[in-house]
A and B are shown apart, each in its own frame.
Chain A
Amino acid sequence: MNIPIYLDNNATTPMDPRVLEAMIPYFTQKFGNAASRNHPFGWVAEEAVDYAREQVAKLIGASEKEIIFTSGATESDNLAIKGVFEMYKEKGNHIITTVTEHKAVLDACKHVEKMGGKVTYLPVQEDGLLDLALLEAAMTNETILVSVMYGNNEIGVIQPIKEIAAIAHKYGALFMTDAVQAVGKIPVDVNKDGIDLLALSAHKFYGPKGVGALYVRRKGPRVKVTAQMDGGGHERGMRSGTLNVPGIVGLGKAAELCMLEMESEAKRLSALRDKLQAGLTVLEESYVNGNVEHRLPHVANISFKYVEGEGLMMAMKDLAVSSGSACTSASLEPSYVLKSLGLSDDLAHSSIRFGLGRFTTEEEVDYAIEVTKTAVTNLRNMSPLWEMFKEGIDLDSIEWAEH
């Protein structure tokens, strides 16, 4: 067992050595530009890109012509939202999304607002799920796009994608999903789910960083997005720029491996995650955040009341995890995702996200349970709030100084 133990697989994943192996030739011998049509170097690169396109398409049930390679999901989210807004201006100017989206979606929506668009940011319920009635009530004739993430990066909650897509379509809008956390972890099928645009990123499923894709539906309906960068007109004119061939090869290989291993991995990881969660919620005053049934198999977000997340992570230094605590963020604001669940600030500050992955072992999980329990217990012994809680003092009755 190597220390520290990596349990932050929602932030990024280590690359699978099999992915690296597939990529290596494309840095040196097979270095051609996939757009070079006139010599074998270009052909070899193009062939590799085409193959990767098939591998990625297969993973999400798409056709290879519907895959646009990008530099990652931030770009894919931007391209989808701004690109749809520009392309479908004539039809309407209203976009609907939720407050728990990733910043790449939220900030792209803010940009759309600056360009004169209207955006509705729907709240979520206490368990993180979107209320479908609320969505339906927000739909208007002007609505061109509904963008709701597949699985949440902080709490792992999986939205009812199929139902959301159906509502969007009923009102003639397109449906886009940021599926960064779901792709490769659980079955995602653009046709079964009714997805028109989908963002994914290689580094979240054991591929390289800096490469991703946007799925853009070609049939029923044929969707188009306005390019956000001007240039050589690559990727069917939607995304210019010389293709990152080694990265794309890695993305393809990573997709293929997930396709093969996802089912057994999901089982293994949810069993490990459940063990971790059970091992930690024996601690008094610990709370699992978000819906536990509709949840990605490898994520558990737990608040340990009366201890602060960053202090806790410091005590768990053998574990690499993350926290929604304000102390960890540059803005000194606690996680907006946890707050949007209606979690009180103190619980948001006390949260730890455990993200298991392909290389997580049971031994590591056992160790993580012990380390976390000890850290929580030690820090509670140091916490004035814990002491007050134990004395039966109602913390809400205290007049805290403004700060």
Chain B
Amino acid sequence: MAYSDKVIDHYTNPRNVGTLDKSSHKVGTGLVGAPECGDVMRLQIEVGDDNIITDAKFKTFGCGSAIASSSLATEWLKGKTIDDAMKIDNMDIVEELALPPVKIHCSVLAEDAIKAAINDFRVKNGMEAIESEKAHH
């Protein structure tokens, strides 16, 4: 199956690969997936005053679509408030990257990682974790 140009672009020039300081109270970390399933995504956000995301980094073990989904997610996260970031839907990623149906779960992983990172930040900073409905599988 051929990849879309956008997947190839994010895959060949991944944005924001890296690691933030997990122990900082400003940093939220989401680690989702499992090695047995062939995909693990770690997404981290750094949150400034006003709950605005100032930086985002990822590392992903997975297929090209999973790598592209996480790369795109980090781009979208920067500059958003954590509340707005919570609203990112996996189908937005599917649409932007033109992912085929078999790759939808790679975008789900990205959405799960975003939510996990935000909740990690929230809990660290005395806020409640937000239970959200499951993404579209």
Contact of A345 (CB < 8 Å), options: B38, B62, B105: B38
Of A325, A387, A401, which is in contact with the most chain B CB atoms at under 10 Å from its CB?
A401
Given A330-B102, A346-B36, decide whether A384 and B63 contact each other with a Cβ distance below 8 A: no
Residues of A within 8 A of B66 (CB): 308, 311, 327
Residues of A within 8 A of B114 (CB): none
B19 is an interface residue with CB less than 8 A from chain A: yes
User: Taking the nearest CB of chain B, how far is it from the CB of A302, in angstroms?
Assistant: 17
List the one stretch of B39-47, B75-83, B117-125 in contact with chain A: B39-47
What's the interface size class on B, roughly? 20 to 34
- 8 tightest CB-CB pairs across the interface, nearest first? A400-B34, A327-B63, A345-B36, A346-B35, A384-B42, A349-B38, A310-B63, A314-B64
Contact (Cβ within 8 A) A400 B60: no
Question: Considering the chains assembled together, what is the distance between the CA atoms of A306 and B3 in angstroms?
Answer: 23
A381 is an interface residue with CB less than 8 A from chain B: yes
* Residues of A in contact with B (beta carbons under 8 Å apart): 306-311, 314-315, 325-328, 330, 332, 334, 344-346, 349, 381-387, 395, 398, 400-403
Of the A-B pairs whose beta carbons lie under 8 Å apart in the complex, a sample of 27, sorted by A's number, is A308-B62, A308-B66, A309-B38, A310-B63, A311-B64, A311-B66, A311-B67, A314-B3, A325-B38, A325-B63, A327-B66, A330-B102, A332-B38, A344-B36, A345-B37, A346-B38, A382-B17, A382-B67, A384-B31, A385-B40, A386-B61, A400-B35, A400-B40, A401-B33, A401-B112, A402-B34, A403-B34
Given A307-B61, A330-B102, A332-B102, decide whether A385 and B35 contact each other with a Cβ distance below 8 A: yes
Residues of A within 8 A of B109 (CB): 403
User: Taking the nearest CB of chain B, how far is it from the CB of A325, in angstroms?
Assistant: 6
Given A385-B35, A385-B40, A401-B34, decide whether A310 and B61 contact each other with a Cβ distance below 8 A: no
* Residues of B in contact with A (beta carbons under 8 Å apart): 3, 11, 14, 17, 19, 31-42, 59-64, 66-67, 102, 105, 109, 112
Contact (Cβ within 8 A) B61 A385: yes
Question: Considering the chains assembled together, what is the distance between the CA atoms of A253 and B32 in angstroms?
Answer: 54
Residues of B within 8 A of A314 (CB): 3, 11, 63-64
Contact (Cβ within 8 A) A382 B14: yes
Question: Considering the chains assembled together, what is the distance between the CA atoms of A400 and B35 in angstroms?
Answer: 8
Question: Considering the chains assembled together, what is the distance between the CA atoms of A385 and B34 in angstroms?
Answer: 10
Question: Considering the chains assembled together, what is the distance between the CA atoms of A334 and B35 in angstroms?
Answer: 12
Contact (Cβ within 8 A) B11 A345: no
Contact (Cβ within 8 A) A334 B42: no
Residues of A within 8 A of B67 (CB): 311, 382
Question: Considering the chains assembled together, what is the distance between the CA atoms of A311 and B17 in angstroms?
Answer: 15
Residues of B within 8 A of A326 (CB): 37-38
Given A383-B60, A383-B61, decide whether A334 and B40 contact each other with a Cβ distance below 8 A: no
Question: Considering the chains assembled together, what is the distance between the CA atoms of A402 and B3 in angstroms?
Answer: 27
